[in-house]
Structure 1
Amino acid sequence: MAKPGSRNAITDVPGIQVGQAHDESVRTGVTVILPDQRAACGVDVRGGGPGTRETDAVQPHTLVDAIDAIVLSGGSSYGLAAADGVAAALGSRRRGFELFPSPEIPVSPVVPAAILYDLANGGDKDWGEATPYPGLGREALANVSGEVREGRAGAGYGASAGRLAGGVGTASVVTHDGYTIGAIVAVNCFGSVRVPGSDAYWAAPYEIDNEFGGVPLPSGPFDPDDWGDAKFNPAAGTNTTIACIATDAVLDPAGCMRMAQMASAGFARAIRPVFTPLDGDTVFALATGGKEMAEPSAFTLSRLGSLAADCLARAIAKGVHAAQAARA
């Protein structure tokens, strides 16, 4: 029977570490997902207001076949600069893509990124021409480890999930035949993660071992036009849920892209409404390549994608649940 890994975190996937940093006064932060070695990557963008970097570069038909790190950040468009800090630090280690291998030619770190909007959360955003994000990116990279703090941390430090506090969540699952899948997410959605009039999370059917409170879904019908704790009258671009999925299976970029597409279903299992014109929902998928795919590989990929969606739904609920606990 499939079950969570020892940490119930994306870092249960062999070869994956996570680092986080935040600025309390600005009320924002950055999360970095760092594979030990360059990893195959895919991406799926479903929201109507995305903010991303290098998502075109990881398409299956391009020259780039692996990435060096993934960055999730607050700060809206300013937050994309966090990836600049990460890329500069990795480049100084000579980690990146080399078109012409030579010690005299800098490498090109490939650091895709996605951002969420936390500019209106009351923090001090008077940074002039020097934003905090490159420094937060470098700090998060320096903090990488196997431990992942949930709730008000990293990219989710200044986030809100509908009318609830948002945050960072993570989860994992290990299959009976030894594949590991993990998810990490920063939840800043327009929609609600809870059933209207209830403390139950929409992701409740996927919960394992009461990891986000163990409240079952209420019985009986609900109003399909009731969005519960969704945000009211949001301004365009003020919401987004951004995530990264990882597995130890051997996948190429096309396989990673398919896994990212399937994992996006986890958003729909945990948030209502989702993929709105007001969200920038984005999922990256990484494959560290430690375990060969069982044949038929299409069936194994289908399993991994389905488990990734469940894992992402759990991570969303876990992140918001941890943020509420921190506020209590």
Structure 2
Amino acid sequence: MTAPGKRNLITDVSGILVGQAEDSAVRTGVTVIVPDRPAIAAVCIAGGGPGTRETDLLTGGRLVEGVDAICLSGGSAFGLAAADGVASGLKTDGRGFSLVAREGVPATPIVPAAILYDLANGGDKNWGQASPYAGLGLDAYRDAGSSFLLGRAGAGYGALAGVHAGGTGSASIMTDDGITVGALAGVNCFGSVRMPGTDAYWAWPYELNGEFGGARPPADFVMDPEDWGGAKVNPALGQNTTIACIATDLSLTQEEARRVAQMALSGFSRAIRPVFAPFDGDAVFVLSTGRVDMPENWPLMVARVGELAASTLARAIARGVHEANQEQDV
């Protein structure tokens, strides 16, 4: 029987830590996912307005397949600078890629990144000559641990999910044969995460142990294909995005990780409506820590982990929004 991990966080995956940092004045933040050693990684981008860094390395056939961290940030394009701070912290700790070790030549940390747009969601954005994001990235890296806050925290600190507060969410699942899959999402979507006229989340069929409130749609609920519920009414280009990371301890090749990422995209559509719009920058990374060997029936196992990734990501999205709005109601 599958069940959430001990923390119900992406850090239930062995070898994964998460750090976060926020700037309350700017109303923004950064989340960093840090494997304890270079991890196989892949990415899939589905939104029409993405903002990313180092994702070309993850397309296959490149020199480097392992990454030292994944950085998720608010701040739109300014937030890509958060990866600079993460890279600085990794360099100080002696981490990074070197083709040939040479004295006096530092290794290069590999830090793919994605951003969401929170520039119009409040806060003082008059930060002068230098944005705060490199500093936030370093602070988030230094904060990395096994526990972290959900809701208004990290990359989702200044986020909006449709007309509701957005946030950072996470969830995990463990199988009876020892595979763990975790998801983390920064939710700043154009679409609604709740069913129209109800307190139920679109992701309710995947909820485990009442992790995002346990609300269910009424028995007589009728789906209207044109009723999006609490979506943003007049979106502008580039002002929405859900960015996410999946981690698993199953040993995956980069091509297998890419397939898991493609399957994980359906987690977005299970939790948000509409999704992958022209003004969304939706993206999902996948990390494999390689702690569990891939069995011989690898195609079936990849399909199985991809489905677990999708349902766990849907839970993480709903959980992040639920936690953010619980805080707002207090």
User: 1: distance between equivalents of 2:313 and 2:105?
Assistant: 39
User: 1: distance between equivalents of 2:283 and 2:217?
Assistant: 27
Secondary structure of 1:226's aligned partner: coil
Give the structure 1 partner of residue 225 of structure 2: 224
Give the structure 2 partner of residue 254 of structure 1: 255
Secondary structure of 1:56's aligned partner: helix
Shift of 1:226: 0.5
Give the structure 2 partner of residue 136 of structure 1: 136
Give the structure 1 partner of residue 325 of structure 2: 324
**Unmatched 5+ stretches in structure 1:** none
User: 1: distance between equivalents of 2:100 and 2:140?
Assistant: 29
> Superposed, which structure 2 residues align to 1:300-315 within 5 Å?
300-315=301-316
Give the structure 2 partner of residue 160 of structure 1: 160
User: 2: distance between equivalents of 1:217 and 1:302?
Assistant: 30
How many aligned residue pairs are there? 328
Give the structure 2 partner of residue 183 of structure 1: 183
Give the structure 1 partner of residue 119 of structure 2: 119
Residue identity opposite 2:172 in structure 1: S
Shift of 1:59: 1.5
Give the structure 2 partner of residue 264 of structure 1: 265
User: 1: distance between equivalents of 2:202 and 2:301?
Assistant: 27
Shift of 1:88: 1.5
Shift of 1:30: 0.2
Shift of 1:93: 1.9
Query: Conserved in 1, the CA contact under 8 Å of 2:122 and 2:158?
Result: no
Residue identity opposite 1:249 in structure 2: L
Shift of 1:94: 2.0
Give the structure 2 partner of residue 298 of structure 1: 299
Residue identity opposite 1:254 in structure 2: E
Give the structure 1 partner of residue 282 of structure 2: 281
Query: Conserved in 2, the CA contact under 8 Å of 1:68 and 1:111?
Result: yes
Query: Conserved in 2, the CA contact under 8 Å of 1:43 and 1:257?
Result: yes
User: 2: distance between equivalents of 1:103 and 1:40?
Assistant: 27
1:104 aligns with 2:104: yes
Residue identity opposite 1:25 in structure 2: A
Residue identity opposite 1:109 in structure 2: P
Residue identity opposite 1:166 in structure 2: G
Shift of 1:2: 0.4
Q: What percent of counterpart residues are identical?
A: 60
User: 1: distance between equivalents of 2:214 and 2:103?
Assistant: 55
Q: CA RMSD in A?
A: 0.7
- Range with bigger deviation, 213-222 or 14-23: 213-222
Shift of 1:222: 2.1
Q: Spell out structure 1 runs of 4+ moving beyond 2 A.
A: 217-220
Residue identity opposite 1:37 in structure 2: R
User: 2: distance between equivalents of 1:218 and 1:239?
Assistant: 29
Shift of 1:132: 0.2
User: 2: distance between equivalents of 1:203 and 1:124?
Assistant: 33
Shift of 1:105: 1.3
> Superposed, which structure 2 residues align to 1:44-59 within 5 Å?
44-59=44-59
Relative to the length of structure 1, the TM-score reads 0.99
User: 1: distance between equivalents of 2:270 and 2:232?
Assistant: 18
Query: Conserved in 1, the CA contact under 8 Å of 2:89 and 2:142?
Result: no
Query: Conserved in 2, the CA contact under 8 Å of 1:86 and 1:137?
Result: yes
User: 1: distance between equivalents of 2:224 and 2:202?
Assistant: 14
User: 2: distance between equivalents of 1:122 and 1:10?
Assistant: 29
Query: Conserved in 1, the CA contact under 8 Å of 2:184 and 2:316?
Result: yes
User: 2: distance between equivalents of 1:264 and 1:218?
Assistant: 27
Secondary structure of 2:100's aligned partner: coil
User: 2: distance between equivalents of 1:122 and 1:324?
Assistant: 16
